[in-house]
């Protein structure tokens, strides 16, 4: 095999890096903490984007674009938001370079200092709400439902490809509503859009829930989250949707005249997912041979590898492949014929396995003679020889089956790694084994913090969609009464 | 009418701003020189993006993403590039804010100074070629054909919505090739993609040509351009494609082993179009009633306005519209039924005219009775009453006709405003009238500069596709011999 991948069991973290790098998804750039997203990785992100974008638009959301820069003073406006976001960020202080008078390249022109520093957006609530002030005067202007696809920067000390990078790509939706109820409903609708996308497109079984107050977005009254379990048993927060109340409306004085002619502050939500989803995709489904991509996100769904000794054999096989490719493409599937002449079939097999292509076909002279083809599925690594007759329909059914199977496998893994835990001693041991622990919690930030300090575990969410959690009990740590279990885990 | 638009004849510049603002395309933000692209404007940009993206991909180009930031030292590498781009740009010097010890909001943490300043990309040749160094070692790795859709920042003193903003959105393609010929062919292919897009999607008749050496991109051996004429007779550079030779490969030491086993520097191109195209769209086609959008870029292609006195009439008309809407949408057309109950039809007509919607239908009780509908086309403002029978097919044909007519009109305008000019005295008068002047030029930067100093006119391009320019003559300014005419104009 061309590129060795570390075994998960041996070194999970290295396995992850190997997949990201060797499957050509991304790499570190010359700029500390900033990644380059390579064409193969970006093609997956584009599929995520276009699917999500269509889902957003079906809920009435429109795209727009707001400035990259935010005046420093905006971060002083919303008190909690400052604490949460105005810390590690990129600060623009000057607007000009000049030639070094000593001839050593270029230097910052000291005369070109900005009057007010600009912050590269870590998130855009402040600049967007300063804009909404101009857009909203009456109840007729509401709701405003905007989303933007953009880059954001949060200065991170320790970075990992996709999971934590100084610059990342994301979408951020920002909506404005006349009532609290409507805003809450929107925040809820969007977290459900994320869950739908995670489950049905990414094949990622996620738990929807509320964040505890400690873990809320800075400035939010409620944060809804989807939490996924990675193969090492850690949790990964895959998307969040915030009910922001009137906090930003008050900070930026966004009021509207209601139907009764009275002035009221506007109600807000914001919600986002990022290139972090790429990390989730790698870690949820990958195996020791490389990526395993759900067909709905695979840039190449079917790869065809010809096996031949002579030019005649080669062209006969390639002709067959071309017909099949046209048939599959006509039905919206993406196909690559790997006709590279300088590489052996075994090398190609390993490469496409590493890249997670769901279905691989191999065909040689003997297959041609017998009217068959070898078909390999990436998720189970099973190979079967099947008739060429009816192959198009078979492949299309197989892609559906793979999509479902990848989800089922991840779901079975997650379910096998969720367990109830009712004693503090047990918790301290069990949490180190990975997985989600369903435990009683007394609802206080104090207890949550103590558990975090002692075990690194946090409350990932207070599940919304899981009735089993509603029961009386006592807090695992404090022993105080509790009315429901919550999800504890160590997280990315 | 709700929003008055300044007449073009009265104040062209104000007319442009009125259209951008009042048609809800964009507005200035709280950050100097940075615009907010509003949902209606962004929807047009999205259509431009998706069309161009598909065109790029058909030529084998893949998308990728490179960092927002560029280390300052990279700008010292390519000497000409420094001079051209390393001047007015946003410089990040710090990575942290902190609470002001005196309690006045937040300040920049003086301890969080970066070791090396980072520049917000004004264009990405340097960071991309530093990346390509890792991707390219052999002829087998070539060509590399990447594009990215992103934001860039060039600090501008005087800004105008879309035409010149500190931050703007664009795409930048960066390709790497084994031979000079292949790179030149790619630069040529891409300028032709731009011309195709401009003509057939934007309805913009453009002239393809080479830039004079003075007007080339910093670091390019050749810059190809498409130049469009706006309604005030000024030229607008709508897209450029650069043959970069081996300049960036040499600056970043990107070599490959050729088929003969020898090390060679890689050959490069880059090419881009930006949200400036939105400005071109406004200025090329708009009229005194507002935007005129080519159907291929209109977010709403058909708007339907019901005319009614009673609820019964209203619902009868809306029912008819719903059927027609479904028919048009099934064929991929975008339709809006304007059922807002609080606005008069006349107000709605004016609003959709301002927003440039190509086709407007109005239907009332009398139309229902007679089986007719009033159909208005935005480009000519003509209204006709036609049978409802067969309306879907009629509208689809009309959209094609409007697309063609907008192009034809712009082409006729441009052709009427291109003229030959053979005397310097005449030139000085004629150039002030606007339009393109076809003149002989001696090929020297010196003459070009003098003409610019005296008249503000520049050589927009040395046309590639216009055989009429190939003729012997004498330079309009210097009187020296010349072998072809070039296009002079005052430009945006």
If DSSP codes are grouped into helix, strand and coil, which group holds residue B177? strand
User: Are residues A355 and A447 located together in one domain of the fold?
Assistant: no
pLDDT top residue among B76 and B95: B95
Looking at the predicted structure, is the pLDDT value of residue A109 above 80?
Answer: yes
> Is the Cβ of B46 closer than 8 Å to some Cβ of chain A?
yes
pLDDT value at B413 more than 80: yes
B31: Cα within 13 Å, side-chain hemisphere: 31
Same domain assignment for residues A154 and A271: yes
Same domain, A443 and A483: yes
CB A298 within 8 A of CB A356: yes
Residues of B in contact with A176 (CB under 8 A): none
Which of B362, B296, B292, B300 shows the shortest CA–CA distance to B334?
Answer: B300
Distance from CA of B229 to the nearest CA of A (A): 28
CATH number of the domain that residue A138 is part of:
3.30.930.10
Is it the case that residue B175 has pLDDT exceeding 70? Answer: yes
More confident residue, B218 or A369: A369
Contact of B15 with B290, CB cutoff 8 Å: no
CATH of the domain at B461: 3.30.110.30
Has residue B65 been placed in a domain?
A: yes
Burial (CB < 10 A; 0-12, 13-18, 19+), residue B246, is: middle
DSSP state of B297: G
The mean pLDDT of B265-284, rounded to a whole number, is 98
A108, closest residue in chain B (CA to CA)? B91
In the listed set B259, B285, B311, which residue is the last one of a domain according to the structure? B285
Query: Do A154 and A189 belong to one domain?
Result: yes
* pLDDT band with cut points at 50, 70 and 90 for residue A1: very low
Ramachandran category for residue B105: left, alpha or beta (phi over 0 → left; psi -120 to 50 → alpha): left
Contact B62 A42 (CB under 8 A): yes
Q: Six-digit token pair at A242?
A: 């915030």
Domain final position from B386, B410, B434: B410
> Who wins on pLDDT, A158 or A212?
A212
Reported as a single tens digit per residue, the pLDDT across A343-367 is: 999 999 999 999 999 999 999 999 9
pLDDT value at A2 more than 60: no
Residues of B in contact with A300 (CB under 8 A): none
How far is it, in rounded angstroms, from Cα B268 to Cα B182?
9
The answer to whether A103 contacts chain B (CB < 8 Å) is no
Is the domain of B390 the same as that of B444? no
pLDDT higher than 80, residue A144:
yes
Residue corresponding to tokens 């790694």: A417
Full residue range of the structural domain in which residue A449 is found = 418-489
Angstrom distance (rounded) from CA A69 to CA A95? 13
Cβ proximity of A155 and A89 under 8 Å: yes
- Amino acid B403: pLDDT: 98
**For position B308, which CATH number holds?**
3.40.50.800
**Total domains, chain B:** 3
Q: What does the alpha-carbon distance between residue A368 and residue A364 come to, in Å, rounded to a whole number?
A: 6
pTM as predicted? 0.96
Query: At residue A55, does pLDDT exceed 50?
Result: yes
Length of chain B: 492
Helix (H, G, I), strand (E, B), or coil: what is residue B423? coil
Residue A82's pLDDT band (boundaries 50, 70, 90)?
A: low
pLDDT of B1: 45
The arithmetic mean of pLDDT across residues B241-254, rounded, is 97
Q: What is the mean pLDDT of residues B137-143?
A: 97
Q: Residues 195 to 224 of A: which have CB under 8 A from any B CB?
A: none
Is B63 in contact with A86 (Cβ distance < 8 A)? no
pLDDT at position B242 is 98
More confident residue, B87 or B249: B249
* Length of chain A in terms of residues written: 492
Q: In this structure, are A150 and A256 located in the same domain?
A: yes
Q: What is the pLDDT of residue A466?
A: 61
Query: Across the interface, do A73 and B131 touch by the CB < 8 Å criterion?
Result: no
Q: Give kind and range of the element (H or E) at residue A437.
A: strand A436-440
**B84 pLDDT higher than 70:** no
Residue A61 lies in a domain: no
pLDDT band at A183 (very low <50, low <70, confident <90, very high): very high
* A12-22 and A276-285 helices, crossing angle to 10°: 110
- Cβ atoms of B357 and B398 within 8 Å: the answer is no
Question: What per-residue confidence (pLDDT) applies to A291?
Answer: 98
Q: Is A423 on the interface with B (CB under 8 A)?
A: no
Residue B448 predicted with pLDDT over 80: yes
Give the minimum alpha-carbon distance from B332 to chain A in angstroms, rounded to a whole number.
Answer: 15
What is the maximal distance between C-alpha atoms in chain B? 83
On whether both A213 and A156 belong to a single domain, the answer is: yes
pLDDT value for B4: 86
A292 lies in a domain? no
- What residue of B is the nearest CA neighbor of A343? B140
The alpha carbons of chain A give a radius of gyration, in whole angstroms, of 26
pLDDT at B467: 59
Nearest residue on chain A to B145, alpha-carbon basis? A39
The residue from A230, A254, A285 where one domain ends is A285
A95, A153, A158: best to mutate for the B interface, most B CBs within 10 A: A95
Residues A332, A263, single domain; the answer is: no
Give the tens place of pLDDT for each residue, A379-433: 999 999 999 999 999 999 999 999 999 999 999 999 999 999 999 999 999 999 9
Mark whether B267 and B302 lie in a shared domain. Answer: no
Let me know whether B139 and B170 are in one domain: yes
Nearest to A25 by CA among A203, A155, A16: A16
pLDDT for position B156: 85
CB contact under 8 A, A167 and B95: no
| % pLDDT > 90, chain B | 91
Task: Give per-residue pLDDT as tens, A220-254.
Answer: 999 999 999 999 999 999 999 999 999 999 999 99
Overall average pLDDT of the A265-280 stretch: 98
Q: Find the closest chain A residue to B275 by CA distance.
A: A65
> Which stretch of A73-82, A85-94, A327-336, B192-201 has the lowest confidence by average pLDDT?
A73-82
Is residue A374 situated within a structural domain?
yes
Report pLDDT for B51: 98
Question: Is the CB of residue A43 less than 8 Å away from at least one CB of chain B?
Answer: yes
Please name the member of B34, B36, B112 whose beta carbon is closest to the beta carbon of A69: B34
List, as ranges, residues 155-194 from B with C-beta within 8 Å of A: 155, 167, 169
In a domain, A481, yes or no: yes
Other C-beta atoms within 10 Å of A110: how many? 9
Within an 8 Å CB–CB cutoff, is residue B64 touching chain A? yes
Is A456 contained in some domain?
A: yes
Q: Is B131 at the interface with chain A, CB within 8 A?
A: yes
Q: What's the pLDDT at A104?
A: 76
Residues B350-393 have pLDDT tens digits of 999 999 999 999 999 999 999 999 999 999 999 999 999 999 99
Among candidates B36, B91, B95 on the partner chain, residue whose Cβ is nearest the Cβ of A108: B91
The reply to whether A455 and A311 lie within a common domain is no
Cβ contacts of residue A315 below 8 Å, gap of 6+? none
CB contact under 8 A, A27 and B134: yes
CB contact under 8 A, B82 and A131: no
Confidence of residue A54 (pLDDT cuts 50, 70, 90): very high
**Residue A70 belongs to some domain of the structure:** no
Whole-number average pLDDT of chain A: 95
Same domain, B262 and B326: no
Q: Check CB contact under 8 Å for A94 and B91.
A: yes
Residue A267 lies in a domain: yes
Closest CA to A90 of B70, B268, B327: B70
Q: What angle do CA A478, A480, A484 make, to 5 degrees?
A: 105
Which residue in chain A has the smallest CA separation from B79? Answer: A105
Give the span between the Cα atoms of B284 and B298, in whole angstroms.
15
Q: Contact B82/A70, CB-based, under 8 Å?
A: no
Residues A118-124, mean pLDDT to the nearest whole number: 96
The average pLDDT across A45-67 equals: 98
Beta strands B359-363 and B302-306, pairing class = parallel
pLDDT in tens, A281-309: 999 999 999 999 999 999 999 999 999 99
């Amino acid at each position: 095999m061309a590129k060795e991948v570390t075994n998960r069991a041996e070194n999970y973290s290295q396995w992850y890096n190997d997949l990201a790098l060797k499957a050509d998804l991304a790499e570190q750039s010359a700029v500390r903490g900033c990644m380059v997203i390579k064409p193969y990785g970006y093609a997956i992100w584009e599929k995520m984007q276009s699917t999500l974008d269509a889902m957003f638009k079906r809920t009435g959301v429109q795209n727009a674009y707001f400035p990259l820069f935010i005046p420093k003073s905006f971060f002083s406006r919303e008190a909690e938001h400052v604490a949460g976001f105005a810390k590690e960020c990129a600060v623009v202080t000057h607007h000009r370079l000049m030639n070094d008078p000593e001839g050593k390249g270029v230097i910052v022109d000291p005369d070109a200092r900005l009057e007010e520093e600009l912050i590269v957006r870590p998130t855009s609530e402040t600049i967007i709400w300063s804009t909404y002030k101009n857009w909203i005067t009456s109840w007729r202007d509401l709701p405003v439902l905007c989303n933007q696809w953009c880059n954001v920067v949060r200065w991170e000390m320790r970075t990992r490809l996709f999971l934590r990078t100084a610059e990342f790509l994301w979408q951020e939706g920002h909506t404005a509503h006349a009532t609290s109820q409507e805003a809450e409903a929107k925040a809820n609708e969007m977290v459900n859009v994320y869950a739908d996308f995670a489950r049905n497109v990414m094949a990622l079984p996620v738990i929807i829930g509320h964040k505890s107050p400690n873990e809320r977005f800075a400035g939010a009254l409620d944060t809804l989250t989807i939490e996924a379990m990675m193969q090492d048993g850690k949790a990964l927060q895959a998307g969040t949707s915030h009910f922001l109340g009137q906090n930003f409306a008050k900070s930026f004085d966004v009021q509207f005249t209601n139907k009764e002619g009275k002035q009221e502050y506007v109600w807000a939500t914001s919600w986002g997912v990022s290139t972090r989803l790429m990390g989730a995709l790698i870690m949820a489904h990958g195996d020791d041979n490389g990526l395993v991509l759900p067909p709905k996100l695979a840039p190449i769904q079917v790869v065809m590898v010809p096996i031949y000794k002579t030019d005649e054999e080669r062209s006969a096989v390639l002709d067959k492949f071309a017909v099949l490719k046209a048939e599959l493409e006509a039905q919206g599937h993406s196909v690559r014929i790997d006709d590279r002449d300088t590489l052996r079939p075994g090398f190609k097999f390993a490469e496409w396995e590493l890249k997670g292509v769901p279905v691989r076909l191999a065909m040689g002279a003997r297959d041609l003679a017998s009217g068959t083809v070898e078909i390999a599925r990436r998720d189970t690594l099973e190979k079967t020889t099947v008739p060429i007759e009816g192959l198009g329909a078979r492949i299309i059914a197989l892609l559906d089956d793979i999509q479902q199977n990848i989800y089922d496998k991840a779901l079975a893994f997650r379910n096998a790694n969720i367990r109830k835990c009712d004693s503090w001693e047990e918790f301290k041991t069990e949490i180190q084994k990975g997985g989600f622990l369903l435990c009683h919690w007394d609802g206080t930030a104090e207890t949550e913090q103590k558990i975090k300090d002692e075990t690194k575990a946090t409350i990932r969410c207070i599940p919304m969609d899981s009735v089993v959690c509603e029961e009386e009990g006592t807090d695992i740590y404090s022993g105080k009464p509790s009315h429901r279990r919550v999800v504890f885990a160590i997280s990315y």
